[in-house]
Amino acid sequence: MDVIDIKGDGAASLMPLLTNWSLSDSEGMQSDRLSLTFSGMESQTLIPKSGAEWRVFIDGEKRGVYQISSISEYLHPVKLVVQLTPAIFCVADEKGFKEPRRRTFPPARIQDVVKAVMEPHGYEVRVSPKFAYKPTEHLNQNEETDSAFIARLAAKHDAIAKPIDRMYVFGQRGSLKTLSGNEQPVVTITPQDVQQGSAKLAHPSFVRFNGVKAHWQTPDTGLSDTQVIGSKPYFSIKDVFKHPGEAQVAAEAKLAEFKRKIQSFSATLRGQPGLFAESVMILQGFQSPRAKGRWSVDSVTLSGTRTSYTIQVEATRPI
């Protein structure tokens, strides 16, 4: 029985030739990626169209709508490797999605900036309430693609931004799937679900900062000072901000990042439904008391053949 099913223009003819595949679903700034390998001479006559939309199901679970972004034809041995992404894609790139830009944005709200940048590309934009009405300062897009610019804005607020299906979502960790209208699952993982020897808890050995210092200097008046949050030991942000409010936001985001990365979990799991980036994961039956509690899935990479697959999962503690 096939564990993967793909529907769309040209997919049905290629599916019998599928030999292996990999799907990465990340909570980070990168959009999800799907790679499909089709083998055999017949694949040379069945090359799909760039930009074609394929709906992907794994274990009967919908993983999203993807568009073909690139195709590589290997001559010996003969195989076809098709790469897909959920980003709105067009070979001609008439709307300049892949084009670096230089422009400025006046003070506004995060929601306004994200919509101004992404709606012209055809995305429905959704911004979580935590960030939607936060004010932005004068922003410069310096020879960056639109996605890189918004990713940089998200990083300033310890947020994440990425395309999901035909939407572009901007929000806090754990909220993107909900913003896109998909239910955020809770998954319980036991030792029986884990490939032997692969489950690992990482405890970073570097200094664990309990506070952050962010320096600011107002260009018009020359006034300067430092925003300090938390307690010792402090991490000092190298950038100099334009006023106290901007420095405070940056300091809070950095401290939240440190707290989130105190522990991490990684493992290779047997294939099973329910695991997405931002899933809430509960480890049950493991001997270490530090494994207990809720984990936030940062990324999953599903890979396999037509009949079986495994999942590489990485998770950290929720904020």
Backbone φ, ψ for residue 133 (5° rounding): -105, 10
pLDDT tens-digit series, residues 225-238: 999 999 988 999 99
Burial 126-161 (b: 16+ CB within 10 A, else e): bbbeebbeeebeebebeebebbebbbebbbbbbbbb
Instruction: For 165-212, write each residue's pLDDT tens digit.
Output: 778 889 876 666 666 666 667 899 999 999 999 999 987 655 678 899
d(CA 304, CA 285): 27
22, 55, 82, 231 from 52: Cα distances, Å:
19, 10, 11, 53
Query: Tens digit of pLDDT for each residue in 76-92?
Result: 999 999 999 875 655 44
Tell me how far apart the alpha carbons of residues 139 and 168 are, in angstroms, rounded to a whole number.
Answer: 20
Q: What is the DSSP letter of 209?
A: -
The listed CATH number (3.90.1150.10, 3.30.565.10, 3.55.50.10, 3.30.70.890) that belongs to domain 101-180: 3.55.50.10
Question: What does CATH list as the number for 187-203+263-316?
Answer: 2.40.30.150
Q: What's the mean pLDDT in 92-121?
A: 85
> What's residue 177's pLDDT?
61
User: Could you tell me the pLDDT band of residue 1, with boundaries at 50, 70 and 90?
Assistant: confident
DSSP string, 3-64: SEEEEETTHHHHGGGEEEEEEEEESSSSPPEEEEEEESGGGGG-PPPTT-EEEEEETTEEEE
At a CB cut-off of 8 Å and minimum separation 6, what does 127 contact? 110, 111, 114, 115, 169, 170, 171, 179
